[in-house]
Amino acid sequence: MNTIAQIVLHPFSTRRSKARSRAIGWLALAVMILAGSTFTSFGKQLTTVFSPLSMIFVSEGLMFVFAIISFGLIPSLKKIFSLKSKFILPLLCIGVMNGIASPFLWFFGLQYTNAVNAEIFGKSEMLFLILLSGIFLHQKFRSEHLVGGSIILLGLLIVTMKGFSDGFTFQMGDAIILSAALLYASGGMMVRIKLHHMDPEVLILVRSLCAIAFFFALSPFIEHPFILEAREFPFELIPALIGFGLIARFLTMFSFYEAIERLPIATFSTMATLTTAGSAFFAYIYLGEILHWYQLVGAALIILGAVFVHLNGLHHKEKHMEHHLKSHHRHHI
């Protein structure tokens, strides 16, 4: 009798289980968007105290700790030490590009522009990915990609030219952020070409280890070492430091993996673009930055263009898209 009941009720229990999993996924996605929206503002505050090199150490150090907590130290080390020699060089190159050079430029540029512009110009990474896919993967540009990329480019131009009212006004920080986005996209393209079958946690851990090793190797030769900056760290910025570590890094990463495992990739990647709007709004509330109309229009167009590209697929297969997101979900989503 119990066996018959189980057979009859199994489809209903399966449906309830899937519905519950989907609900958890949506909740995690909402948390990820809210938490991820704080990254740029908290980072902007911390760059007033920490140098870009120190910010790399803080950011990647936190990411390393959270990755170990999430994936486990022993299993992760086993995967790293079992790598074939042919993967070592590409892996180290990606570690240097996306763990050192790109975040250094991003934090350096953040010192010379506002948080809203940094978030907007950081999203140019999608535009660079489209271009690099055509150059290195010989991927044919479909009309959907051209339309989506054009919408993103229009959004960037509107912000750069302040709504076409003041001519071309490009801050130094904006140019540096664009350079960082290009490097992030280049690293993502190298992952797709050389390491698309590698476990994402290996990429994350090696990237963080490269950044931490670089910090300790360079620290004796810089004028303002991290210890001195930490000693002079102002008490009023402690909430920003806690927020950066606990919310912008840990909570974003934790909710990211919960959401991406429970929701369709197209849904996840599309909704994740809302962090651009969330970041601009949080900068307005938390930092008191003025939101100009051209920034709002530019951000809306960038979100629209990114959604258009995601819905029509920049990656050939859904699993490639999932791998890219897991291994390259960055600093900010």
The mean pLDDT of the chain is: 83
Query: Which tokens sit at 226?
Result: 């991290």
How far apart CA 283 and CA 41 sit, in angstroms, is 6
**Nearest 5 degrees, angle CA 275-CA 170-CA 165?**
90
The pLDDT score that the predictor gives to residue 321 is 56
Using alpha carbons, list the distances in angstroms from residue 68 to 54, 203, 237. Answer: 21, 13, 27
Query: What does the DSSP 8-state code read for residue 72?
Result: -
The pLDDT score that the predictor gives to residue 135 is 81
How far apart CA 242 and CA 300 sit, in angstroms, is 30
Tell me the pTM: 0.84
80 touches 202 (CB < 8 A): yes
How far apart CA 37 and CA 46 sit, in angstroms, is 16
Lowest mean pLDDT among 22-36, 162-176, 219-233: 162-176
Q: How confident is the model at residue 124 (pLDDT cuts 50, 70, 90)?
A: confident
The pLDDT score that the predictor gives to residue 325 is 58
How far apart CA 154 and CA 276 sit, in angstroms, is 16
The pLDDT score that the predictor gives to residue 71 is 82
Q: Which of 128, 124, 135, 146 is nearest to 188 (CA)?
A: 128
**Nearest 5 degrees, angle CA 326-CA 180-CA 98?**
40
How far apart CA 71 and CA 59 sit, in angstroms, is 18
Return the number of other C-beta atoms located less than 10 Å from residue 237's C-beta: 17
Give CA torsion, residues 290, 114, 126, 170, to 10 deg.
Answer: 100
Lowest mean pLDDT among 1-10, 13-22, 109-118, 286-295: 1-10
Query: Which tokens sit at 6?
Result: 């189980």
Chain segment 68-91, per-residue pLDDT in tens: 888 888 888 888 889 888 889 999
* DSSP secondary structure, 133-175, as one string: HHHHS-----HHHHHHHHHHHHHHHHHHTTTTTS-----HHHH
At residue 4, does pLDDT exceed 60? Answer: no
Q: Which of 235, 223, 181, 197 is nearest to 319 (CA)?
A: 197
280 touches 274 (CB < 8 A): no
